Amino acid sequence: MSALEDYVGTFDNEPGYLNWAAFGPLSPSVREEVFADADLLASGRPSSLALVGERIGQAQELIAELLGAAPDEVTLQPSSTHGLMHALYGVSGAVIASTAEFPSVSLTLERASTASDRALTPRWITPPDGRVTPDAVAEALDDEVTAVAVSHVDFRTGYRVDLGALRDVVGPDRLLIVDAVQSFGIVDADYAAADVVVGHGYKWLRAARGSGFAWFSPRARERIAPVLSGITGTTASGLVVDELPAPAPSAKAYTVSVPDTLAAGRLAIGVRDVRDAGVAAIEQRLADHVDTVIATADRHGIEVVSPREPHARAGIVTLAPEEPARLAAALANAGLVVTARGNSVRIAPHAGTDAETLRMLDETLDAFGRESFTVA
Ligand SMILES: Cc1ncc(COP(=O)(O)O)c(C=O)c1O
């Protein structure tokens, strides 16, 4: 069996789950290892605590491997939003972001602006369909702009930004701050095009909450003031009292306190599993499932608002049905788990989504269409 087939074989949740963009049911390996780590912490022995403490370095190394970065440039965070806070609170000048971003970007930018007494100002853009294309960013650029903050994959539409093209537009002198929550581990991207990449383990990595991370490139570390630097973010290595050491000249300056070692373990295992399967192979398998979901919606006459080209999407297919509430109810009644929000229904398979789940979707959309026809 190939590494990908091994990985796909670990998806043991019930058929019907199509909500990976919201939450990833925990993988068997994450479940096993967290129990083992909890047992070690329960012993209270220093050697056992130290063993679990090694999870921090393991997670940093694995994330760095996937990003093509150095392990000490990666910080562990309670959430991806915490990572964005470290980045955005330390920037000044104008920062371009879309008003349609997940609030981890938009709200954090607004709060950082207020805290800076407007030394930082949001430069809001409202591109058509919420798609932050390189052209939409280019239009908003001027000499005041110091950074662009963007989701690699938009949580609503599933639109995937071309990071390389965005870097070309942004140029070498501005920061590119990327929220990779909806892409890390399922998209084989060139993250080196960015300066800051944040993500977390509780969706596509199947590793549960508390597992955020943030990577800061050398350029990011030169330009982002470590405003939220805490007791782990200093030049000191141990506990210091009666002294106020300066922020470290490394990425650890963007940390507050010691990470949750159980969360670090879960994250390390989640990342290890996708690394072993191969992110490119996962991306390809997921693309096949996304094609199937799009074809199923097309067959049943339901509008798809997500991009269709594989390079412009990842794992999200957003539908704009004529009767969204009725479709949401039909899917829930059939045992299909999706995100229904406003007028849209978001379907998010993973590489390990089984044929039975895709068949259930097809059957439900078919029955839904026939029911509308009968009623009309
Ligand atoms: C694009 C995006 N960014 C950020 C978040 C929130 O991440 P966290 O809970 O790690 O702060 C989400 C959650 O759905 C998301 O979709």
Helix (H, G, I), strand (E, B) or coil at 252: helix
Name the closest-CA residue to atom 13, ligand 1. 22
Cβ of 213 less than 6 Å from ligand 1? no
pLDDT at 23: 98
User: Quick one: which of 99, 98, 60 has its CA closest to 77?
Assistant: 60
- The answer on pLDDT for 374 being more than 60 is no
Cβ of 212 less than 6 Å from ligand 1? yes
Ligand 1 centroid–CA 23 distance in Å is 10
Q: Which of 224, 253, 276 finishes a domain?
A: 276
Which is the closest atom of ligand 1 to the Cα of 81? 11
Of 63, 76, 81, 205, the one to substitute when testing ligand 1's pocket (max ligand atoms within 8 A of C-beta) is 81
pLDDT in tens, 241-274: 999 999 999 999 999 999 999 999 999 999 999 9
Portion of the chain with pLDDT greater than 90, in percent: 95
Ligand 1 centroid–CA 200 distance in Å is 8
Of 81, 181, 183, 211, the one to substitute when testing ligand 1's pocket (max ligand atoms within 8 A of C-beta) is 181
80 with 227, same domain?
yes
Cβ of 146 less than 6 Å from ligand 1? no
Tally of domains in the chain = 2
350 is written with which tokens?
């993973």
288 with 305, same domain?
yes
Q: Which of 254, 276, 298 finishes a domain?
A: 276
Cβ of 349 less than 6 Å from ligand 1? no
58 with 170, same domain?
yes
54 with 67, same domain?
yes
Q: Residue 51: which domain range?
A: 30-276
Q: Which of 239, 257, 276 finishes a domain?
A: 276
pLDDT at 372: 63
Mean pLDDT, residues 51-56: 98
Name the closest-CA residue to atom 14, ligand 1. 22
176 with 313, same domain?
no
Ordered strands of the 120-125 beta sheet: 74-77, 212-216, 196-200, 175-179, 145-151, 93-98, 120-125
Res. 369 pLDDT band, cuts 50 70 90: confident
38 with 156, same domain?
yes
Sign of torsion over alpha carbons 308, 313, 315, 320 = negative
Q: Which element (helix H / strand E) includes 196?
A: strand 196-200
Alpha helices in the chain (DSSP H): 3-8, 28-43, 46-67, 80-88, 103-115, 134-140, 163-170, 218-223, 261-277, 279-299, 324-333, 355-375
182 with 195, same domain?
yes
18 with 87, same domain?
no
